[in-house]
Structure 1
Amino acid sequence: MAIFGLWVINKAGGLVYQRNFAEGLAQLTSNEHLVLAGTLHGIHAITSRLSPIGSSSGAHVIEAETFKMTILLTATGTKFVLITSIAEPSANTVLQKVYEAYADAVMKNPFHTPEMPIRTEGFDTRITALIGSGHT
């Protein structure tokens, strides 16, 4: 059980925060991360429209053979994506705590511009305490 990475995607589909926490993820360039975040944003939009019964908020978990992506969509359209091992039981709990850290350290920061990359030391510190030091 492991947490491999965390992405924060703004409501327009732009990657505003990305961090790796464990070995195992492919080493991607910044541009590749941006493309993947935009693609996930599109997939999430499509899945929100596919529901055969009523409305849907889109995909919450995307599972592959060796990892899964757990997605938390906020009321403002910001997506928090946790990339974990398939057996990771605490992904939803961790995402909720990441969202709390985002609300406290980023959104309450008067120097942060909404929808722009997150460069708030307090957020990094809280994520490190929550998940680990990681590999950037």
Structure 2
Amino acid sequence: MSIQHVFIISKAGSLIYSWENKANESISVEKTYEWPLDVKLNYIDQKATVVFGENDKVKLRYTISAINKLNVINGKFIENDKEQDILEYLENESNYPLTLTFNSPQLTANEKIILSSMFHSLYTIAAQVSPTPKSYGIECLETTQFKLHCFQSLTGVKFIAVVSESFTQSIDGLLRKIYEIYADYALKDPFYAIDMPIRCEKFDDALNTTLEKYENTSAVTI
């Protein structure tokens, strides 16, 4: 699925809704390495994480989930009834060749909140420093791994879609459709308070249906 994330950020900069493509959770990469290891790993949140030297399909922030088919948990694994530290094990030349299994990174709830607040600030700065009068700020960010598209409503609510780097379809129509769903199902919910997290089953269902239809249409078009 090309659409990876959808975020809705309030006018004040707080994250009020997030959707994540669950198919991404199953993405893993297995690769056999010879000595010396050509990627740099550090512990981040007790996970052996790639911090330098991405190559092939192994990207930055990918974490090691297994070594030689043995599960790695909190940087440790069991080999021959002995607990091993993954980074210490990888520093020993006699352990090579070996096979590592990497998992793609998953954003935690706290990371989503922090990144949403950060993007809100960057959006405001971009609008202020832009040489274009009445600039609306950041509409698209492109990296080597993803594209981020943003649509801001007249009331200051931001609708964000993160898609794969190979995605070529226009995303503006999708963002405006999500805005319509927000207006129809969230704002019209008598139990919903403005700028509070969206907890509405009908909103979830409408969004999932829209994303599925858009993905299928894009696949046919591409």
Q: What is the TM-score when the length of structure 2 is the normalising length?
A: 0.57
> Would you say 1:41 and 2:100 are equivalent positions?
no
The runs of 5 or more residues in structure 1 that have no matched partner are: none
Other structure's SS at 1:102 match: helix
Name 1:16's counterpart in structure 2: 16
Partners of 2:105 and 2:200 lie apart in 1 by: 26
Alignment of 1:110-125 (within 5 A): 110-125=190-205
Q: 2:156 aligns with which of 74, 77, 80?
A: 77
Match of 2:7 in 1: 7
- What does residue range 91-110 of structure 1 map to in structure 2 within 5 Å? 91-110=171-190
Equivalents in 1 of 2:134, 2:112: separation in Å? 29
Counterpart position of 2:144: 65
Between 96-105 and 45-54, report the one with greater CA deviation: 45-54
Structure number with higher relative contact order (C-alpha < 8 Å, ≥ 6 residues apart): 1
Return the offset for 1:122: 0.8
Give, in whole Å, the separation in 2 of the partners of 1:88 and 1:16.
Answer: 28
What amino acid sits opposite 1:108 in the alignment? K
Q: Distance in 2 between matches of 1:32 and 1:80?
A: 18
| Moved >3 Å (runs of 4+) | none
Is the contact made by 1:70 and 1:82 (CA closer than 8 Å) also made in structure 2?
yes
Sequence identity of aligned pairs in percent? 36
**Residue aligning to 1:53:** 132
Query: In the TM superposition, what is the alpha-carbon distance from 1:88 to its structure 2 partner?
Result: 3.7
What SS is found at the alignment partner of 1:131?
Answer: helix
Is 1:3–1:88's contact at 8 Å kept on the other side of the alignment? no
Tell me the amino acid that sits aligned with residue 112 of structure 1. Y
Q: CA RMSD in A?
A: 1.4
Query: In structure 2, what residue type is equivalent to 1:76?
Result: T
Map of 1:29 onto structure 2: 108
Give how far 1:37 is off. Answer: 0.2
Cα displacement (A) at 1:51: 1.4
The TM-score normalised by the length of structure 1 is 0.91
Task: Report the secondary structure of 1:65's partner residue.
Answer: coil
Amino acid at match of 1:36: L
The AA in structure 1 aligned to 2:207 is I
